[in-house]
């Protein structure tokens, strides 16, 4: 709803309730005449006119942007001025309508003005509070949009590190095969083209189905199998519920690449990789078991490594998603946990 529409609804309903309540209490306590009823009816347009005029002054003088410790005294002074205008205009109307008026002293007049000042002060309080909340909400939204844009830019930066790094390693594998085994090199090119085709299609997606990520991983491992031959073995142990989850593109592939680069490739006899998935409390838990020994800070953080992968999960899911890597029972175990999110 437009702010102007809300303003007029509040103005009309607020003054209507105020006039009606005062009229009811006056009727219950006094014998009222028709011309006295007119005075109460006159309060309605008079109150709207004065408060709307005060609003005009507030907008024109940018009073909403003044510091709070200046706003409060200005609002109090404005409330007394509005109350004075209201009282003396009402007094003039009583004279015009020939209503019998008791002679009032200065103290009585001041007391009436103070009573009306409370009404105008609460009107100002409601008006300023509404705009304060609106400005606060808009500031929060602006901050969130700014943070979102920063995270989006950072995520794109992280993604941009991925493709060149992956391409470099894959092309090295193929280059090593060209002279040695052209047929296998041709197969490797086909597998690489499948990976690149899928990654190009996924580039604009923050999340992809887990099963689509597995296709890339299978092609990648087949390509690395050609490179390492008997020094690399791999196995999948996946639960069917895993396919109901979505993960960041090439997240799993990156972790497997790290397992080969920093684990199996450094072993003289190579090793094996086991990829296991399960659903725990509506979270997808994927575990990568590989031969080798994990040494803290051994994985380079200059490329698309463990640090960037963790940052990527933090941007997309918050603190509930994370990656850990440690030594367990003679194996290096890399785990990541991701909540279930539906793709739009």
> Which residue segments constitute the domains of the chain, with CATH numbers given?
3-142 (no CATH), 181-339 (3.30.565.10)
Q: What is the pLDDT of residues 210-257, one digit of tens each?
A: 998 998 899 889 888 877 888 999 999 999 999 999 998 888 988 898
DSSP letter string over 175-187? HHHHTT-HHHHHH
Q: What is the DSSP letter of 230?
A: G
Helix, strand, coil: what percent of the chain each, to 5? 70, 15, 20
Q: What is the pLDDT of residues 16-47, one digit of tens each?
A: 888 888 888 777 776 667 777 787 788 888 88
Check residue 104 and give its pLDDT: 66
Place of tokens 């060209």: 178
Check residue 199 and give its pLDDT: 65
Element (H, E) at 333: strand 331-339
Cα dihedral 214, 215, 220, 225 in deg (nearest 10): 90
Check residue 337 and give its pLDDT: 93
Q: Considering only CA atoms, which of 285, 278, 286 is closest in space to residue 255?
A: 286
Check residue 157 and give its pLDDT: 53
- Using an 8 Å Cβ cutoff, are 60 and 17 in contact? no
Ranges of the chain whose pLDDT falls below 70: 1, 30-32, 98-104, 139, 142-166, 169, 198-204, 297-305, 342-344
Residues 6 or more apart whose Cβ sits within 8 Å of residue 284: 210, 242, 245, 247, 277, 337, 338, 339, 340
Element (H, E) at 312: helix 306-317
């Amino acid at each position: 709803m437009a702010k102007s529409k809300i303003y007029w609804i509040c103005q009309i309903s607020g003054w209507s309730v105020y006039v009606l309540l005062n009229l009811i209490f006056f009727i219950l306590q006094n014998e009222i005449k028709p011309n006295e009823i007119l005075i109460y009816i006159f309060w309605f347009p008079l109150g709207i006119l004065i408060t709307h005029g005060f609003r005009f002054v507030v907008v024109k003088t940018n009073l909403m942007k003044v510091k709070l410790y200046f706003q409060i005294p200005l609002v109090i002074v404005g409330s007394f001025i509005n109350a004075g205008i209201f009282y003396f205009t009402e007094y003039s109307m009583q004279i015009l309508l020939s209503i019998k008026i008791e002679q009032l002293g200065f103290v009585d007049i001041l007391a009436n003005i103070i009573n009306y000042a409370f009404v105008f002060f609460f009107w100002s309080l409601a008006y300023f509070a509404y705009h304060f909340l609106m400005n606060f909400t808009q500031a929060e939204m602006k901050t969130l949009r700014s943070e979102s844009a920063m995270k989006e830019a950072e995520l794109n930066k992280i993604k941009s590190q991925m493709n060149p790094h992956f391409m470099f390693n894959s092309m090295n594998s193929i280059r090593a095969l060209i002279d040695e085994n052209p047929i296998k090199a041709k197969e490797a090119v086909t597998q690489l083209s499948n990976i690149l085709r899928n990654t190009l299609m996924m580039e604009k997606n923050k999340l992809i189905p887990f099963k689509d990520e597995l296709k890339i991983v299978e092609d990648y491992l087949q390509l690395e199998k050609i490179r390492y031959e008997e020094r690399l073995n791999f196995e999948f142990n996946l639960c069917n519920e895993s396919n109901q989850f979505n993960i960041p593109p090439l997240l799993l592939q990156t972790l497997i690449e790290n397992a080969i680069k920093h684990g199996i490739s450094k072993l003289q006899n190579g090793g094996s990789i086991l990829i296991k998935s399960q659903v725990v409390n509506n979270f997808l838990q994927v575990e990568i078991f590989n031969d080798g020994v994990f040494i803290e800070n051994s994985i380079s953080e200059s490329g698309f490594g463990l640090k960037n992968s963790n940052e990527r999960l933090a941007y997309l899911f918050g603190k509930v998603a994370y990656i850990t890597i440690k030594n367990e029972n003679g194996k290096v175990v890399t785990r990541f946990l991701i909540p279930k999110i539906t793709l739009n």
